[in-house]
Amino acid sequence: MTVRVRFAPSPTGYLHIGGARTALFNWMFARKHGGKFILRIEDTDQERTVPGAIEAIMDGLRWLGLDWDEGPDIGGPYGPYIQTERADLYRTWANWLVDNHHAYKCYCTPEELTEMRETQMKEKRPLGYDGRCRYLTHEQRAEKEAAGLKPVIRFKMPLDGETIVPDVVRGDITYQNSQIYDAVLLKSDGLPTYHLANVVDDHFMAISHIMRADEWINTAPLHIRLYEAFGWQHPVYAHLSLVMNPSGKGKLSKRSQSFTDDGQEVLVKVSEFQEAGLLPEAVVNFLANVGWSFGDDVEKFTLAEALPRFELTGINPAPSRLNYTKLDWLNGQYVQEMEPMALAKAVKPFLDAAGLEVNPEALLAVMPPMSKRLRRLTEAVDFLRFLFDDVPLELAPEQLVHKQMPYEAALDAFKQTCSLIATIESFDTETLGAALMQLGEQVTTNGKAGPFLGILRLAITGQQVSPPVFESMVALGRERTLARLYEVLTLFANS
């Protein structure tokens, strides 16, 4: 079997992180088996289609590194890949079902259907279409046609017996046919519903495996009966685990944007993950852990490492919570592995967005120590705020003393530091480190440089959290470092 899988989002907005997980598992399965990953846009619900959504979905997939082999932008042998461009195909096969007695035209008006539901509720009967148009005679249908009623086409679901849905993840799932109502396949405007369109598309696009969200399980028996009516072999089904909020309370799929769950910020849109300063490598690693396990207690891995281990039978059907604390940890691990230049390029857009300009050389100087402290790239803004000229030094003299370096000793230490910075020949971390370590051992009462270097870092950056003092100085440069030190001496003089 040639593996062909598809990710088929509706362009009703953004790319949801749950949808991204579905896309990832499909992509992994295709890549493992040397198959094809197809992007198909299911836009038959025109009322909910959002302009620009297709581009947003593709942008999100590209950011995650999930490339597709066939799709609306690149075409392919089974196109077109946007459902509204395939409308004639759906109408042909919907009418084929009618002609071959597997479907029928339904002329019920919205008012009739509303009255039917109200009666069912009043009589406490199960809600659903009661099949009233299923048994219309030829004369009755002709009469409704003459009255100008535009019909929908409904599927003739078997009235008794059962339908078994074989699922790779969940095993066989049995449904009683009597509990499944005759679904609309083709709407009165000539566009298909999801049920018809996805079955026809999956057949004509030669889809071998369907990996989709848990919420679609209950549509599977209808789809299997449709395949049977057409005389087609249905693909292999694998319904993925439900994605829950981090607290386990409620489905994440119902959320349309970031929110707070038990005091924790929860991101929903893929674009929100990008805007939050998370790396795509960390996000796909995180998503691969949602409902599937690499094994051997390994949580950090690349997709290349995961592919040989990925099996549909290894997907856990139980609902999965999103552990955003683990995501931040993963992101921090990937940040630590970045080369200084790559990290500098990655954080620069966030600095630019905050309106902060940093000299490229200064930015590069603080990357190695900063990489060990960042969880998200957005944290670089506060971490590096000391590099900006318009940041005032908001410190009091008492913050710049220590029990091992009281007031007079601290003042003398800053004076000596000014002299050292002004005259030191090489202004690099190694030279500064050696000289300042020696100075620190001389100005503290216990002969240890630690208290002095800690106070010096605070004086230079004005921040409790910042890069180490030597890297901070190099990033500022000699002149700006001296300017900060002169500010400190002014603080002491005015106290």
pLDDT at 254: 64
pLDDT confidence bin for 217, thresholds 50/70/90: very high
Instruction: Give the integer Cα–Cα distance in Å for 410 and 452.
Output: 8
pLDDT at 385: 87
Least confident of 5-9, 69-73, 469-473: 469-473
Alpha-carbon dihedral 166, 172, 176, 179, rounded to 10 degrees: -70
Q: Residues with Cβ < 8 Å from 213, sequence gap 6 or more?
A: 18, 19, 22, 239, 240, 242, 253
The tokens describing 367, both together, are 């990357």
Taking 80 as the threshold, does the pLDDT of residue 390 lie above it? no
Would you say 225 and 207 are in contact if contact means Cβ atoms under 8 Å apart? no
Taking 80 as the threshold, does the pLDDT of residue 1 lie above it? no
In 3D, which of 9, 41, 108, 23 has the Cα closest to residue 287?
23
In 3D, which of 211, 224, 146 has the Cα closest to residue 183?
224
Overall average pLDDT of the 412-429 stretch: 95
Active-site entry in 32, 144, 249, 254: 254
Taking 80 as the threshold, does the pLDDT of residue 90 lie above it? yes
What is the average pLDDT value for the chain, to the nearest integer?
A: 93
Taking 90 as the threshold, does the pLDDT of residue 12 lie above it? no
Taking 70 as the threshold, does the pLDDT of residue 392 lie above it? no
Overall average pLDDT of the 109-115 stretch: 92
Residue 252 CA neighbour count, 13 Å, CB half: 31
Strands 259-261 and 264-266: antiparallel
Strands 171-176 and 162-167: antiparallel
Overall average pLDDT of the 351-370 stretch: 87
In 3D, which of 52, 46, 45, 65 has the Cα closest to residue 14?
52
Taking 90 as the threshold, does the pLDDT of residue 60 lie above it? yes
- 3-state secondary structure string across 112-134: HHHHHHHHHHHCCCCCCCCCCCC
Any idea what the Cα angle at residue 441 is, between residues 435 and 445, rounded to 5°?
155
pLDDT at 293: 94
Taking 90 as the threshold, does the pLDDT of residue 59 lie above it? yes
Taking 70 as the threshold, does the pLDDT of residue 389 lie above it? no
pLDDT at 113: 92
CA distances from 166 to 30, 81, 94, 211, 224 (A): 20, 27, 25, 13, 10
Instruction: Give the integer Cα–Cα distance in Å for 358 and 390.
Output: 12
Overall average pLDDT of the 123-127 stretch: 87
3-state secondary structure of 415: helix
The tokens describing 295, both together, are 């094994």
Q: Which residues of 269-280 are buried (b: 16+ CB within 10 A; e: fewer)?
A: bbbbbbebbbbb
H/E run at residue 266: strand 264-266
Question: Is-catalytic flag, 254?
Answer: yes
Overall average pLDDT of the 181-210 stretch: 96
Q: Residues with Cβ < 8 Å from 441, sequence gap 6 or more?
A: 447, 448, 449
Q: Any idea which residue has 């996000």 for tokens?
A: 283
The tokens describing 153, both together, are 């086409």
pLDDT at 367: 92
pLDDT at 322: 87
DSSP string, 61-88: HHHHT---SBBTTTB-TT---BGGGGHH
pLDDT tens by residue, 437-490: 999 999 999 999 999 999 999 999 988 888 899 999 999 999 999 999 999 999
pLDDT at 400: 92
Overall average pLDDT of the 8-29 stretch: 95
Q: What are the φ and ψ backbone dihedral angles of 466, each rounded to 5 degrees?
A: -165, 175
Least confident of 170-179, 245-254, 410-419: 245-254
pLDDT confidence bin for 388, thresholds 50/70/90: confident
CA distances from 230 to 86, 93, 159, 187, 233 (A): 18, 9, 18, 19, 9
